[in-house]
Amino acid sequence: MDAVDYSLVDMSQQTTTLEKLELTGSPHERGVIHGEAFADEIASNVALYLEIFEYKGTDEKTVYEQVDEFIPLIEDENKEYAEEMKGIAEGSGLSLEEVTILNARYEVMYSAFKQAADELDEGLPDACTAFGIQPEISSTDHTYLGQNWDWMPGLETFVMDIKRDNKPNMVAMTEAGIVGGKIGFNEHGIGMTLNGLITEKDGEDPFNKPYHVRFREVLDARRMDEAIAPLISTPRACSANVIVAHEVGEMVNLEISPQSSNYIYPQNHLLTHANHVEDRSTMNSEFEKLIPDTLCRAPRLKRLLAQHEGDIDVDVLKNALQDHFGRPNSICRHPNEEDEKLDQLQTNGSYIMDLTEKCMFGTGQPPCTTEYAEFQLT
């Protein structure tokens, strides 16, 4: 029997370029620049999230009631973040409430899922496959970090290039309208990735510091301990998986649920993670009941990369992230036509960070359909 080629590349689809926007000045000024540049995209994202919340059983009125609590909560937790949100609202012509829907979207979403179903079997957060590479197994002696980010088709994203006087300069992918950044790194060589997790207490108490505020605080850090603290120091509304890494090669994978945290370190200088909890000692794991492919994606990526131990570079990482084993529910994920539209997931972006060179390679589409663009921190 012929071997199946799971890496078939379909270049016939569109090649949308991932845009970069430089954000400078005060937090408010940065927000205005963001809002003016992506007004239509932010409005589109608000509409898409309201649609999915409604689909999961949470109407607009309930969403806005939650948002009214998140506005002062974010102000208390991180004043600069709140100022940047206000700038986005001003620049885009949307209300602060609409912008807050995006910035607290994890917390609102998990709460919606919880209300829709006690067993959390109705909703899907971001489903992704992430990796960390220590310099010992790269061909370049560099530290790499990255992921495929799998989420709803149609969501608008871009890359922020933030220049600041009082905090580190940073490069990070974000959803249009969200201050935080999600997958990115800063001038001190600190980077982060993000995967969705589901554990049993998610959504019970949504009113905690939103994850996107925490992500910005990770990217504000000068040292690893400062980057880890915002993720684990205070209770959370829901669960997530974050790899935090430093350019010298130190890295830790944090599995975090509302009340507990697990710490996983590289084995053979390699970390991979998808959407199920690997360390069940402090939390259960629910996501694999919804998308069993998570159980295959992390070990698959680990195997694809381990084959190149000592030779890993950006091209090896690009090839691994284009893998189609189990398509459409593959590392390079494509919408499953059998699913309802609002249940569909695809790789909405593929990101490889060279923390040593302080640059990111990224796509705004499945990586098999478009070339990676390069974003250098300057």
Residue ranges in contact with Zn ion by CB under 5 A = 332, 366, 368
Of 197 and 332, CB closest to Zn ion: 332
Nearest to 287 by CA among 94, 112, 54, 121: 121
Instruction: In angstroms, give the least distance from the CB of 337 to Zn ion.
Output: 14
Of 31 and 366, CB closest to Zn ion: 366
Cβ-based neighbours of 362, under 8 Å, separated by 6 or more: 18, 159, 173, 349, 350, 351, 352, 372, 373, 375
Of 134 and 370, CB closest to Zn ion: 370
Instruction: In angstroms, give the least distance from the CB of 346 to Zn ion.
Output: 8
Instruction: In angstroms, give the least distance from the CB of 6 to Zn ion.
Output: 10
Of 319 and 356, CB closest to Zn ion: 319
Of 123 and 366, CB closest to Zn ion: 366
Give the β-pairing of 346-354 and 195-196: unpaired
Evaluate whether 157 touches 34 at the Cβ level (below 8 Å).
Answer: no
Instruction: In angstroms, give the least distance from the CB of 176 to Zn ion.
Output: 23
Of 199 and 347, CB closest to Zn ion: 347
Sign of CA dihedral 210, 211, 214, 220: negative
DSSP sequence for 295-345: HHHHHHHHHHHHTTTT-B-HHHHHHHHT--TTTTSSSS----TTS-GGG--
Of 78 and 347, CB closest to Zn ion: 347
Instruction: In angstroms, give the least distance from the CB of 322 to Zn ion.
Output: 6
Instruction: In angstroms, give the least distance from the CB of 324 to Zn ion.
Output: 6
Which tokens in the block code for residue 276?
């199920």
Of 67 and 332, CB closest to Zn ion: 332
Q: Where are the beta strands (DSSP E) in the chain?
A: 20-23, 127-133, 144-151, 157-162, 170-175, 183-186, 190-192, 195-196, 240-246, 251-256, 261-264, 270-273, 346-354, 359-363, 373-376
Instruction: In angstroms, give the least distance from the CB of 52 to Zn ion.
Output: 23
Q: How far, rounded to the nearest angstrom, does the alpha carbon of residue 147 sit from its chain's CA centroid?
A: 9
Instruction: In angstroms, give the least distance from the CB of 334 to Zn ion.
Output: 6
* Distance (Å, whole) CA 351 – CA 358: 13
DSSP classification of residue 360: E
DSSP sequence for 254-276: EEE-SS-EEEE--BTTEEEE-SS
